[in-house]
Amino acid sequence: MSEKLQKRARKARVDTMERHVLVCVDDDCGGSGVAKALRKAIAAHGLRSTVSIAKVDCLDICTKGTIAVVYPEGTWYAGLKPSRVERLVTEHLRDGRVVTDLVFHRNSLASVCWPPESPTQG
């Protein structure tokens, strides 16, 4: 694998990531402020090595934004605002408790994930 790719992967902390948050930043969702507040709160709570944020153009919900989804749990949030980000970060991302009053759907993808790689036979 290329050195550049490995360097980018280290910078993205793919080896230590425990949760990945996808935030819709389309104008209809208005999530740019939420994404910015999330990054700030994640850093403030010392979660940068384990929580990664990805800004996405649309999550196909397009109502009651800002929409975001947290993996691996598959927890879908609606109505996020910068003022609600602190709860998402402290309750869910730091303490592992879903913020139920902001959740509209849950669907862990764990049941459909590929099984761990088995050792190579040789």
For ligand FES, the binding residues (CB under 6 A) are 24, 26, 28-29, 58-62, 65, 67
Give SS3 for 43.
helix
Q: Minimum CB separation from ligand FES for residue 94, in Å?
A: 25
Q: Please give the structure tokens belonging to residue 117.
A: 């790689």
Q: Minimum CB separation from ligand FES for residue 99, in Å?
A: 18
DSSP per residue, 59-74: -S--SSSPPEEEETTT
Residues 3-33 as b/e (b if ≥16 CB within 10 A, e otherwise) read eeeeeeeeeeeeeeeebebbbbbbeebebbe
